[in-house]
Amino acid sequence: MGSIQVRTTIPGPKSQELMRRRNAAVARGVYHATPIFVERAEGALLEDVDGNRYIDFAGGIGCQNVGHRAPRVMAAIREQIDAFLHTCFSVTPYAKYVELAEKLNSLTPGKFSKKSILVNSGAEAIENSVKIARCYTHRPALICFEDAFHGRTMLTMSLTSKTHPYKAGFEPFATDIYRVPYAYCYRCSYSMKYPECNVFCAHHLEDTFKRVVAAESVAAVVVEPVLGEGGFVAPPPEFFTVLQEICRRHQILLIADEVQTGFGRTGAMFACERYGLVPDILVSAKSIAGGLPLAAVRGRAEIMDAPDIGGLGGTFGGNPVSCAAGLAAIETLERENLTARAEVLGQRFDARAREWKTHFPLIGDVRGLGAMRAIEMVRSQDRREPAKDETEQVLRYCHEHGLILISSGSYGNVLRVLVPLAVTDEQFEEGLNVFEAGLTSVADSRVEAAPGRA
């Protein structure tokens, strides 16, 4: 596959026909960021059923850090499917699960003995991390954050912040969950300014223990090192230093949700490393297995061993094909030094986006870590009113011009980049050019629509 190629109006006729059938057959609650049906994918490119080709800045929402159909991953999958597909690790175990657990333990921050379990999805992994934390601490409560996203199951939805579409209508939620502000400096919940605030939001947790929930009732703080669905907010490092100190002081476990930040995305294998954060439990999913469903929970051995035999697991958890793909995906990240590549891509995006910010008043904030980068769109710089419609217009322009781009943020006004780290320099530049053209087109249409214009 070459690069962008737009052959039809987008969506093309075959995608439109499939969307008609999809609407009749699939529940509407399952959302699509684009109206395009995919036929094939390779590296950082996608081709749709109408023969249009796109540069993929979404990577299946951050699952393709090694690129679509990465050669080592494909070879490992082929080898495994020729051996066996499923026996259930809880019936007849197999080596690949153990090898992957060993590898994940060795990559996880912290100079202590670690153990892992493998499950199927990010939400299932977070659920398990909470089960383990409660079992170990014999405490019920959880602290989570504004703008957090942890999944769509009952417990993880309860930990998630954004109301629509994730929570509204699905009440009642799980109990013993307490939400506090994250270090979202652009929209500080305390209306303070960094660095003068001295990360008041993190210190304020001590106050929460006096006024909201007793520290000795709290099993764990569940935190994303960089907000994913919440808008790619990368806190100042002191936020995590203080959070970690407070957790240690009260024997509260720190669970890092690295579902979106993991496997090279932020310029390190895990974002915790960028912050010097050593979580008690680290949760992974998405890019762990090069595009196959797999997730992992690992942490201090004594914590992970708290549940009794049979208390953890599941029929498909740590499926052998996913484990083989996971080992190959990690090997690819290491051999191709994709964490360093993430930093380079992130810096290129940052330089370009800061330039855009100087001439597009629609851009309120440019932020992120490594190759987890975003811009937050606002109607005006001073009032910071979220520009959701304009964000959607940019997305539509990009889709129609060969770039798969997605949004995030509690206000739906953040354009985020989760490009496969295997993207070539040319493809990345081409994608950024479409992104810029999308911003220009929306900025121009706003000028034309301004009052007093003919």
Work out the widest C-alpha separation in the chain, in whole angstroms.
74
CA neighbor of 405 nearest in space, from 39, 58, 22, 10 = 58
Question: Which pairs from 156-165 meet CB under 8 Å and 24+ separation?
Answer: 156/122, 156/123, 156/126, 156/127, 159/126, 159/222, 160/229, 161/230, 161/410, 162/229, 162/230, 162/410, 165/29, 165/31
Contacting residue, 34, 65, 121, 319, with ligand PLP by CB under 6 A: 121
Residue nearest to ligand PLP (CB): 122
Quick one: 10 or 294, whose CB is closer to ligand PLP?
Answer: 294
Quick one: 413 or 427, whose CB is closer to ligand PLP?
Answer: 413
Segment interacting with ligand PLP (CB under 6 A) among 49-57, 128-136, 145-153, 297-305: 145-153
Q: Does 399 bind ligand PLP (CB under 6 A)?
A: no
| Neighbour count for residue 291 (Cβ, 10 Å) | 25
Q: What part of residues 274-303 is at the interface with ligand PLP (CB under 6 A)?
A: 285
Query: Which one-letter amino acid corresponds to residue 270?
Result: F
Contacting residue, 49, 70, 123, 329, with ligand PLP by CB under 6 A: 123
Calpha distance 70→290 (Å, rounded): 7
In sign, the C-alpha dihedral spanning 384, 388, 389, 391 is: positive
Q: Does 224 bind ligand PLP (CB under 6 A)?
A: yes
CA neighbor of 266 nearest in space, from 62, 122, 110 = 62
Place of tokens 């996203």: 149
Quick one: 287 or 413, whose CB is closer to ligand PLP?
Answer: 287
Q: What part of residues 314-333 is at the interface with ligand PLP (CB under 6 A)?
A: none
CA neighbor of 364 nearest in space, from 353, 388, 380 = 380
Quick one: 63 or 330, whose CB is closer to ligand PLP?
Answer: 63
Which stretches within 70-194 are classed as H helix?
Answer: 71-83, 95-107, 122-137, 154-159
Q: Closest distance between ligand PLP and the C-beta of residue 227, in Å?
A: 8
Query: Which one-letter amino acid corresponds to residue 187?
Result: R
Q: Does 259 bind ligand PLP (CB under 6 A)?
A: yes
Q: Closest distance between ligand PLP and the C-beta of residue 149, in Å?
A: 5
Contacting residue, 54, 57, 149, 435, with ligand PLP by CB under 6 A: 149
Structure tokens at 358: 């100087």
x/- track of binding to ligand PLP for residues 39-78 (CB under 6 A): ----------------------x-----------------
Total binding residues toward ligand PLP, as defined by CB under 6 A: 15
Quick one: 286 or 352, whose CB is closer to ligand PLP?
Answer: 286
Q: Does 260 bind ligand PLP (CB under 6 A)?
A: yes
The phi and psi torsions of 3 (rounded to 5 degrees) equal: -140, -150
Calpha distance 257→278 (Å, rounded): 12
Contacting residue, 228, 267, 364, 370, with ligand PLP by CB under 6 A: 228
Quick one: 257 or 280, whose CB is closer to ligand PLP?
Answer: 257
Quick one: 149 or 360, whose CB is closer to ligand PLP?
Answer: 149
Q: Strand, coil or helix: what is 25?
A: helix
Rg (CA), the chain: 22
Segment interacting with ligand PLP (CB under 6 A) among 2-10, 257-265, 310-318, 399-407: 257-265
Query: Which one-letter amino acid corresponds to residue 32?
Result: H
Contacting residue, 229, 365, 376, 390, with ligand PLP by CB under 6 A: 229
Q: How far is CA 281 from CA 246, 256, 264, in A?
A: 16, 6, 18
Quick one: 49 or 144, whose CB is closer to ligand PLP?
Answer: 144
Q: Closest distance between ligand PLP and the C-beta of residue 105, in Å?
A: 21
Segment interacting with ligand PLP (CB under 6 A) among 48-56, 68-76, 148-156, 232-240: 148-156
Q: Does 122 bind ligand PLP (CB under 6 A)?
A: yes
CA neighbor of 55 nearest in space, from 452, 419, 315 = 419
Q: Under the rule (CB under 6 A), what is the footprint of ligand PLP?
A: 61, 121-123, 126, 149-151, 224, 228-229, 257, 259-260, 285
